[in-house]
Structure 1
Amino acid sequence: MIRFEREDEYLAALIGGPCRAFGSYLMVRAWSPEFDPLRDDIVTTPVWIKLANIRVNFYHHLILMGIAKGLGTPIGVDLTTLNVERARFARICVEVNLAKPLKGTVLINGERYFVAYEGLSNICSKCGIYGHMVHGCPRTIAERVANLDI
């Protein structure tokens, strides 16, 4: 939680979109009396995604932001990507909903590319939901229980 000294700084942070802090994006939301940091779940978060081996002609801000729309709410593109200083992968910041399945691939002009989510290691390969792995997936457990009943 952050308290601003001046109202204009608060409004700039709230309305101006995500801020950058130490190389990462920071989402600012207005405080409400109902907010309880011990009980409220974080449903959305900004995350850097990597699209490996995409063609260099896609390394344009508008194109990459359009691709990112299929993965969440686009926030920004890495400057190294925009300057084509590293052509192995494109890096885009996207706000994702952690309560919904995350996409493992994206289709661009008929070609499928893998999506890597930086900092999100607990993504289930079965259901795509963040927070558990396939062996702890509710779907996997339900299937095991169903197979035992047979």
Structure 2
Amino acid sequence: MEEKENIKVAKLQLGKFIAKDGITVKLHEQNEKENADKLSNSIVIKVFGGDPPLRIISSELRRQWMQYGKFHLTMVGMGWVLCSFYEPDHMEAMMTNGPWFVNGKIIGMDKWSQNFSTNSLKGLTVPVWIRLPNLPLQCWDNINLYRVASMVGKLYLIDGSMFQWGRREFGRVCVQIQQDNKLPLGVLAEGKAGRFYQRIEYERVLNFCFKCGLIGHNCEDCK
């Protein structure tokens, strides 16, 4: 990477930036807004169960995300990576697919916001396809699927192919789950035929602990 000249600060128009208490620094609001606008198509990601270098993360994600257009990756500290897309549609398409992995470890993600902090996992989510095996046939419609799946996470997509005759082995939907929330192995539902337990299966979630219900480690590593 080419080295750039150092920036001389002598001519910067700083203005008054110390608050009345004499100890608080006031940020430049217009610059804050402009910087936030530049990050409007960005997400923050974190690999769980590992701390791979940026070159590995970049190689793995570029291989998986090449269909979603160009993007730029930057390390921002504490194992977090900022991923900036050139087009908002590409970012949305990537976030509604998945889950995504680096070295076999699942990654959590969230849209960048001004509340983002490298010291917190709050808001971090993972797009996961779930299956509802042996779902009663009277429940095979968009509304009832949504109601059952909503107990797992925020519903994003419903697999349209499952409504075809001959493909009713299981319901299949994509949900956005909170990284630090316990994942249920089943959901209680109630209809005209009475109450029943609907089992939940998670596709491609490798490091999922069935003891505590959290993503990021296996049962043998559960603390």
Is TM > 0.5 for Structure 1 vs Structure 2?
yes
Deviation at 1:29, TM superposition (A): 2.5
Q: Which moved more, 1:23-32 or 1:104-113?
A: 23-32
TM-score by length of 2: 0.48
Partners of 2:211 and 2:204 in 1: CA distance: 19
Deviation at 1:82, TM superposition (A): 3.2
Q: Which moved more, 1:103-112 or 1:79-88?
A: 79-88
Partners of 2:215 and 2:167 in 1: CA distance: 28
Partner of 1:19: 93
Match of 1:97 among 158, 173, 178: 178
Partner secondary structure for residue 200 of structure 2: strand
> Between the two proteins, what is the percent identity of the paired residues?
25
Deviation at 1:86, TM superposition (A): 1.1
Partner secondary structure for residue 111 of structure 2: coil
Deviation at 1:92, TM superposition (A): 0.6
The root-mean-square deviation of aligned C-alpha atoms, in Å, is: 3.1
Structure 1: unaligned runs, 5 residues or longer = 139-150
Return the index of the structure with the highest Cα Rg.
Answer: 2
* Deviation readout 1:82-102 (Å, 9 max, x if unpaired): 335411100011000121111
Partner of 1:122: 207
Q: Which amino acid aligns with 2:198?
A: Y
Aligned length: 127
Q: How does 1:1-150 map to 2 (within 5 A)?
A: 1-4=83-86, 10=88, 18-19=92-93, 24=97, 29-30=111-112, 43-109=124-190, 110-138=195-223
Q: Which amino acid aligns with 1:29?
A: K
Structure 2: unaligned runs, 5 residues or longer = 1-82, 100-108
Partner of 1:144: none
Deviation at 1:81, TM superposition (A): 1.9
**Matched-pair contact (CA < 8 Å) for 2:110–2:125:** no
Partner secondary structure for residue 173 of structure 2: strand
Partners of 1:83 and 1:40 in 2: CA distance: 43
Q: Which amino acid aligns with 1:114?
A: R
